[in-house]
Amino acid sequence: MVADSTRRRPAPRMVAAPILVVTLTVAVAELLRVSFPLLYRLAEELGFLTAAGVVPLLFALPLLAAPLGRLLGPRWLLGVAAALVGLARVAAQVQATPGLAVVLVGVLVGLVALPMAVRVTLARHGVGVAAAGLFIGLAVDTGIRLAFVTWDPAWQTSGGALLVGTVVGLAVLVAAVTTIVEPRAPWGGDSVRSGLLVGPVLALETLALASPGFVASSAGVGLATAGIVVLVGLSVAATGAVGRVQWRRVVVIVAAIVVVVVPALATGPAAIGGWLVAVAVVGAQWAVGLLVVATLQRASHGRPGTSDRATAAAGVPGAWRTGLGSGFGSLVLVLALLPYQISYELELGVPQAAWPVLASMVLVALGTVGARASGNDVQADSLRPSVLAPIAVVVVLPLFVVPIVLGATSSTPPASAADGAQPASPVRVATYNLHSAVGVDGRLDPERIAQVLVAGEAEVMALQEVSRGWPLGGGLDLGSWLARRLGADMAWGPAADRQFGNAVLSTRSILAERSGTMPRGQGPMRRGWVAATVPVGTESVEVFSVHLQHQDDTTETRRSQARLVLAAWDAQSATVLAGDFNSRPGSVDIEPWFDGTGLVSAQEVQAEPPRDTSPAEDPDHRIDWILGTPDLVFSDVEVPPTTASDHLPIFTDIAHR
């Protein structure tokens, strides 16, 4: 009766808790992405092995929500945690570079506040509304990301970014206050299950399902199309949550299989590619949505929590179980994402795809094991039409305008010789290891990379360490962002996996492209190459972007990888092989490139002494190269100083003899 009377309250009071779920999801999802480049920098400073122990300890801090929940009760735990999230989001926006401490506070307390908000929404509005709030929040977050071409506003200083960050932070604060002051409103049972739910969901959504960069790089589609795929998937999840559908056991079993199989097949170095990925993402979102509904249904029929001293007099359930579940959910999140990323630096002996599958299995267990509703069905409660219609029309559907506009405003493809314009000779070529656009100051800033390339007047750019949806790269689709910013075509070559590799960008049309990967050998990360053919005068040049293994003790692997790239080149004329070879002049590593190949180094042909290229802030060794066949002429070689990445770029003019 309490729940029914709550539903009959005026709409503005009814939607406070669901709006809190939506706004918290938007804020926490972005802060989580922002935290990864900052944590990566911390790992570089501490060492990856040390970081592998420190970061899980940090993400175990939400376990403190259990004693705090017993002490404070749900009202104060939710109010304080949500307020900290809102303040952290605003603080991150106004900082020149988001600070790790501020961002981690927002993430860690957000992993407590969001499950509490879901619990309250479950009690006041039912399973469907609570589940839909999560997916609508992820859809809003996706729309914001697409509006900024996947470079999160928290990293930016523009007026639009400042507005978004401030509005999101303030919206969390207002929704939190409105939720906790609502009179005579239920607070729901205290359940570990509902508290644990958010962690695995955010892990799967952050890594793949709600990442436009992931879909674009895996499916081989444009960013706008990838954005539509993500929004369709989230709409399917949200619509399924609020619909009046009887989910029979067999359907839940199918969802459980799908949510495990998709991450197993679509993540890691052996991931599938093509349009099948887009279909799989939508299917997985359906499965995640159904399992979230099943989990909340079971949580709502589980044992209610005992009241703590702070709230017993008012008859309000405690919050220690929800807090405990939040802490476990935080650990699931970090155990799904941290080993997945750190295994590209440290050999863990476990396939990368096993880690997101861990999150899937936890989600399956939450939705299928333990207390359940009576009968054989798991039914999602439904929003009333008066509330559902505004949410569907005003929030979800307009979000599809963002990727449509993104696609319609994409830069015009470069003109080709077939269009009647003969490409000039020489062509300005650059090689640049981008470090995922994270500079030496730890700031994720693709605009700085673009400015370096524009200042160097590069027309064809051989780029390495290009992330496209990688968590450590902040979820940014760097390849698509730069291609749009520079008005360039892109040839993409996956390496470590389909989200991290090499690219050739060209402001001249790309006539042909090809790519390949190389065995890991002694290193933990798979490397690769990509090549693009571009017009130069009346002829053409093929430009390779190459990245070889980087550890000091992997000399034989680098030599083997060099020979594989040279075999792909096959001694063809009019070819440039550029990239981060991780090989110094005079070393045994560099020998294969010059052993009877006839290749010439751009830096060696200029009058000035060659310049070192790494590390960017104080270069003391040269591991980046531009090599060319003897029928090409190098001139005007430059290695400008910049800290936009951890390497320096090399620029040179190239022409046919």
Question: Is residue 249 assigned to a domain?
Answer: yes
Q: Residue 514 gets which letter from DSSP?
A: E
CA distance 96 to 77: 30
Domain boundary among 382, 407, 432: 407
Average pLDDT over residues 412-423: 59
CATH value at residue 385: 1.20.1250
Is 558 in the same domain as 470?
A: yes
pLDDT band at 609 (very low <50, low <70, confident <90, very high): confident
Which whole-number Å values give the CA distances from 464 to 431, 434, 570, 647, in the listed order? 8, 6, 22, 10
Domain boundary among 407, 440, 461: 407
Q: Is it the case that residue 56 has pLDDT exceeding 60?
A: yes
Q: Is the dihedral of CA 372, 374, 375, 379 positive or negative?
A: negative
Specify the pLDDT at position 398.
81
Residue 318: strand, helix, or coil = coil
Element (H, E) at 30: helix 16-46
Q: Which residues does residue 438 pair with via DSSP β-bridges, in sequence order?
A: 444
Rounded to a whole number, what is the distance in angstroms from the first to the last CA of the chain?
A: 86
Q: Which of 102-106, 191-195, 425-429 is modeled with the greatest confidence? A: 102-106
Average pLDDT over residues 352-363: 95
Higher pLDDT, 45 or 216: 216
Torsion of CA 579, 584, 587, 592, to 10 degrees: 10
Specify the pLDDT at position 466.
98
Average pLDDT over residues 300-314: 47
The number of domains in the chain is: 2
Specify the pLDDT at position 486.
96
CB 481 within 8 A of CB 446: yes
Question: Is residue 568 assigned to a domain?
Answer: yes
pLDDT in tens, 491-516: 999 999 999 999 999 999 999 999 99
Is 564 in the same domain as 427?
A: yes
Residue 243: exposure state from Cβ atoms within 10 A (0-12, 13-18, ≥19): middle
Is 492 in the same domain as 444?
A: yes
Is 192 in the same domain as 234?
A: yes
CATH value at residue 644: 3.60.10.10
pLDDT band at 420 (very low <50, low <70, confident <90, very high): low
Is 310 in the same domain as 452?
A: no
Question: Is residue 3 assigned to a domain?
Answer: no
Least confident of 2-16, 366-380, 540-554, 599-613: 2-16
Q: Which of 119-128, 281-290, 404-413 is modeled with the greatest confidence? A: 281-290
Is 393 in the same domain as 435?
A: no
Question: Is residue 515 assigned to a domain?
Answer: yes
CA distance 25 to 130: 12
| Helical pair 192-204 and 275-300, crossing angle rounded to 10 deg | 170
Higher pLDDT, 370 or 101: 101
CA distance 397 to 392: 6
Question: Is residue 499 assigned to a domain?
Answer: yes
pLDDT in tens, 176-221: 999 998 888 889 889 999 999 999 999 999 999 999 999 999 999 9
Least confident of 245-254, 314-323, 478-487: 245-254
Least confident of 10-24, 207-221, 349-363, 403-417: 403-417
pLDDT band at 457 (very low <50, low <70, confident <90, very high): very high
pLDDT in tens, 373-402: 443 333 344 444 445 445 655 677 788 888
Q: Is it the case that residue 85 has pLDDT exceeding 70?
A: yes
pLDDT band at 161 (very low <50, low <70, confident <90, very high): very high
Average pLDDT over residues 413-436: 78
- CA nearest to 355, candidates 375, 329, 337, 381: 337
Specify the pLDDT at position 379.
37
Parallel/antiparallel/unpaired status of strands 246-248 and 377-379: antiparallel
Residue 632: strand, helix, or coil = strand
Is 311 in the same domain as 377?
A: yes
Q: Is it the case that residue 70 has pLDDT exceeding 80?
A: yes
Domain boundary among 392, 407, 422: 407
Is 399 in the same domain as 423?
A: no
Specify the pLDDT at position 657.
86
Summary mean pLDDT of the chain: 89
Specify the pLDDT at position 394.
64
Average pLDDT over residues 236-241: 77
Q: Is it the case that residue 1 has pLDDT exceeding 80?
A: no
Specify the pLDDT at position 304.
45
Question: Is residue 196 assigned to a domain?
Answer: yes
Specify the pLDDT at position 249.
75
Specify the pLDDT at position 386.
42
Q: Is it the case that residue 587 has pLDDT exceeding 50?
A: yes
Question: Is residue 8 assigned to a domain?
Answer: no
Is 510 in the same domain as 427?
A: yes
Q: What is the domain range of residue 98?
A: 13-407
Is 369 in the same domain as 437?
A: no
Is 223 in the same domain as 365?
A: yes
Question: Is residue 5 assigned to a domain?
Answer: no
Is 65 in the same domain as 210?
A: yes
pLDDT band at 78 (very low <50, low <70, confident <90, very high): very high
* pTM for this prediction: 0.92
Contacts of 137 (CB under 8 A, 6+ apart): 21, 22, 23, 24, 25, 26, 29
Specify the pLDDT at position 279.
96
CB atoms within 10 A of CB 529: 28
Parallel/antiparallel/unpaired status of strands 632-638 and 624-628: unpaired
Q: Which of 132-136, 302-306, 540-544 is modeled with the greatest confidence? A: 540-544
pLDDT in tens, 246-280: 556 788 889 999 999 999 999 999 999 999 999 99
Average pLDDT over residues 156-169: 96
Least confident of 1-10, 122-131, 234-243, 498-507: 1-10
Specify the pLDDT at position 403.
87
